[in-house]
Structure 1
Amino acid sequence: MREYLLVVFCTAAVTYLLVGPVRKFAIIAGAMPPVRARDVHREPTPRLGGIAMFGGLCAGLLVADHLTNLSRVFSDNSSDIKALLSGVGIMWVIGVLDDKWGVDALVKLGGQMIAAGVMVYQGITVITIPVPGVGSVSLSPTLGMVISVALVVVMVNAVNFIDGLDGLAGGMVCIAGMAFFLYSYRLWYGYSISEAAPAVLFSALLIGMCLGFLPHNLHPARIFMGDSGSMMLGLMLAVAAISVTGRVDPDLITAQTGGSQTATTHILVPIYIPLLLPLAVIALPLADLLLAVVRRTWAGRSPFAADKQHLHHRLLEIGHSHSRAVLIMYFWAALIAFGTVAFSVTNTGRTVVLACAGFCLIGIVVLLLPWFRPKAPAAVQAIVPPRYRRGSSGRRRPVRTAHRVRPAELGESASGEPGLGGETVESALGELSAADREILRGSGATALGGRGGERH
């Protein structure tokens, strides 16, 4: 465990230290696209954060190669390491080109398939599908390659789709990497299943890359990972999944658990239910990906056309702040990922199910909190200028000035703008009690957002 922690630390440290120079390079190179209508940030922010993450990955592999125990993992799985570097390298180059000049969606999809194909051709592929009680069902080489390439492409685009809020993609992939690490580490060191060894190393590298980049990417972000980072993270997540699934025989675990089929079933939940663990750890981005494809296709647009209807955008619309929306996504990702892992390490899943149900209830309450916020009376909304009202995001803008409202002003507009005249105010005042109306009509009433009124 100490060697893996050292790999995580070195990968994170190198990534963190490289972000500063990479950010300056991105600004000089002009990798700062203008803010689009669907973007959440309001100022141009440099991309190319994937360059720093790639540097951290190489540093982590170099350190692991010189450690006592991990060096044996290198020697026994050298083909997997080479396949990982070749696939990540191609994906990284495509991402850098897209961050700087922009790449057509279909061209980018083709590049993703090429990167996945090169990696799969070198050996990182689904060879078998484990089925408890039956054993490993062998796949033909062609079918195994097709499934592996499809898994990589889906993972890459799922991670790319959630890269819409500061710190969201990096944090969720980090959670997924931790879940993979715990599961594969238990298979490798708990049950001596050597086939899981590469997944432990790949997960540790993934965690380090995310931890090193997140301090620069949390709201407000100083730099974005861009496609060079998000596609690389998606590919590594897929590699970790393939390294575990398709290479672990369920009969081996049955022997290690004393022949208990019930225990084996719980342990293999992340494997034999169509790659449940890799799907569980990115369940939210996968759901977002599927919903986006259906939504855009139904509207007659390209599935790759960008919009502002992703899950994280909807969280902002119902009233959550930027940071809270990210934390909510973290919460659900961790609940699904670690709940799946916890279910696989216990012989009785009742406790895990009850705990997950309790956490789900808490998450739903937090998710729906903005719907239960009290709303200001219509009369108050009518005399507050539009620029200071509660917007669709549910957040109030800062109050700059205040002025005294006189009865004559109520006949025009409290903001001095057309459309908020006497009829609107009078109809709104009718909803208040007589005492409240007198307060608003009196010389002591105050309206927010006035232009140039006296300060208190």
Structure 2
Amino acid sequence: MRVYLFIAAIAGGVTWLVTPLVRHLAIRIGAVGQVRARDVHTVPTPRMGGVGMLIGFAVATAYASTFPFINGLFASSNQAWFILCGAFLICMLGVTDDLWDLDWMLKLAGQLLISVFVSWGGIQIISLPLGSLVTASPSLSMAITAFLLVASINAVNFVDGLDGLAAGIVAIGGIAFAIYSYILARTSPSYASMATLIDVMLVGVCVGFLLHNWHPAKLFMGDSGSMLLGYLITCASIVMTGRLDPVSVHASIYLPVFMPILLPLLVLFLPVLDMILAIVRRLSHGQSPTHPDRMHLHHRMIRIGHSVRSAVLILWGWAALISFGSIMILFFKAQYVAIGFAISTVILTIATLYPYYRRRIPEIREENAALAAARHREQSADDENRRHKD
């Protein structure tokens, strides 16, 4: 575990050090996000923060390849280098979008091509738990892998709307995923795990970037960062599915069989939910799925009265509840997990709705008082009319 923590520290430290340089580069080449109607920030802010995260991830990967405990992963497979190559390509696609605002169809085509390339390089879901583990055909495996990669890339991109929100959610999910993959690796002769390695480096770059991205942000991650984070966390989950041998899996560990498929969806539950709601909302109004609006989850949090920081912290709390709640069932009895989950849900619900009700309760009281006064005036007028008639 100490090895993984050290590599995470390298990824975070390098990201923290190079991000100011990336910020100056972004300003110099014009990668500055102007204030749009749907934006929460009020001043133009440089984008392209994903480049700093990519550098941190690349340096940590290169260092890990020389570390005795880890280097066997690099000797036995080229997965790490294909993942790094795909990270470079997806980040560069994001950089072009940060600079020139690519058409959504062109960006989607680029994401698909990169996903197919990475899948061709061996980053594939090789089996699916459908009653029993069913080995997928190569073409189906590549199609499912590409779909998951593109969906995750765009889900994180959708949720990237407040300072620190996307980086924090992905870091939380990465920690939960790293715990699970590390536990899974301990059942093997070697504790070394490519999935755990990717996760800890991902958490490191997120933390390093957050130090510059916390509100008020000095730099936005832009599409270069949001797409990179969605890509990396999904690559880690796909790599982990390759550790499950369909022959050796027994029904007694059926939940761990499903967990590699479920956990990526759970750790990215909020981004995926936000993306699905946005697509349904826009299609129902006859708009393109990529049509911008101010109806994302983070926009709603701001609208009901949260500050940027409180909205981010509460959304982090929901992400942590879903991510860690999904793996706690592997350590504790289901009823205890359910009780803890229910209590946490109530607390987070109260925290989420508190600004709304704090504002609305006085308004409701004023409305009730005004209504009571109007009724009193009407009653007084009726009494006065009756007296005149009498």
Question: When the two structures are superposed, what TM-score results if normalisation uses the length of structure 1?
Answer: 0.77
CA distance in 1, matches of 2:91, 2:32: 18
The one-letter code of the counterpart of 1:243 is V
- Number of the residue aligned with 2:385: none
- Residue by residue, what CA displacement relative to the aligned partner does 1:247-289 show, whole Å, maximum 9, x if unpaired? 41365354xxxxxx44x13433413xxx110000011110110
Call closer, same or farther: CA 1:16–1:377 in 2, change over 3 Å.
Answer: closer
- Number of the residue aligned with 1:267: 256
* 2:173–2:323 Cα contact (<8 Å) kept: yes
Identical columns (%): 41
The counterpart of 1:280, out of the listed 266, 271, 274, is 266
Matched, 1:84 2:69: no
The farther-off stretch of 68-77 and 275-284 is 68-77
The one-letter code of the counterpart of 2:177 is F
1:181-192 correspondence to structure 2 within 5 Å: 181-189=178-186, 191-192=187-188
Matched, 1:297 2:293: no
The counterpart of 1:315, out of the listed 285, 301, 324, is 301
- Residue by residue, what CA displacement relative to the aligned partner does 1:198-222 show, whole Å, maximum 9, x if unpaired? 1111101111110110010011101
The counterpart of 1:361, out of the listed 311, 321, 346, is 346
Counterpart secondary structure, 1:11: helix
* 1:267–1:343 Cα contact (<8 Å) kept: no
Call closer, same or farther: CA 1:250–1:195 in 2, change over 3 Å.
Answer: farther
Question: When the two structures are superposed, what TM-score results if normalisation uses the length of structure 2?
Answer: 0.90
Unaligned runs of 5+ in 2: 377-390
* 2:182–2:191 Cα contact (<8 Å) kept: no
1:26-425 correspondence to structure 2 within 5 Å: 26-77=26-77, 79-131=78-130, 134=132, 136-189=133-186, 191-192=187-188, 197-249=193-245, 252=248, 254=250, 261-262=251-252, 264-271=253-260, 275-346=261-332, 348-374=333-359
CA distance in 2, matches of 1:311, 1:247: 35
The one-letter code of the counterpart of 1:155 is S
Counterpart secondary structure, 2:163: coil
The one-letter code of the counterpart of 2:134 is V
Counterpart secondary structure, 1:55: helix
Per-residue deviation, 1:68: 1.1
Unaligned runs of 5+ in 1: 255-260, 382-426, 434-456
Q: Which has the higher contact order (CA 8 A, sep 6+)?
A: 2
The one-letter code of the counterpart of 2:9 is F
Counterpart secondary structure, 2:69: helix
CA distance in 1, matches of 2:257, 2:152: 21
The one-letter code of the counterpart of 2:230 is G
Runs of 4+ off more than 4 Å: 193-196, 374-378
- Residue by residue, what CA displacement relative to the aligned partner does 1:422-450 show, whole Å, maximum 9, x if unpaired? xxxxx99x88x9xxxxxxxxxxxxxxxxx
CA distance in 2, matches of 1:228, 1:244: 25
CA distance in 2, matches of 1:201, 1:373: 45
The one-letter code of the counterpart of 2:351 is V
CA distance in 2, matches of 1:372, 1:87: 46
The one-letter code of the counterpart of 2:221 is M
Name the structure with the higher helix share. Answer: 2
Q: How many residues align?
A: 374
The one-letter code of the counterpart of 2:280 is V
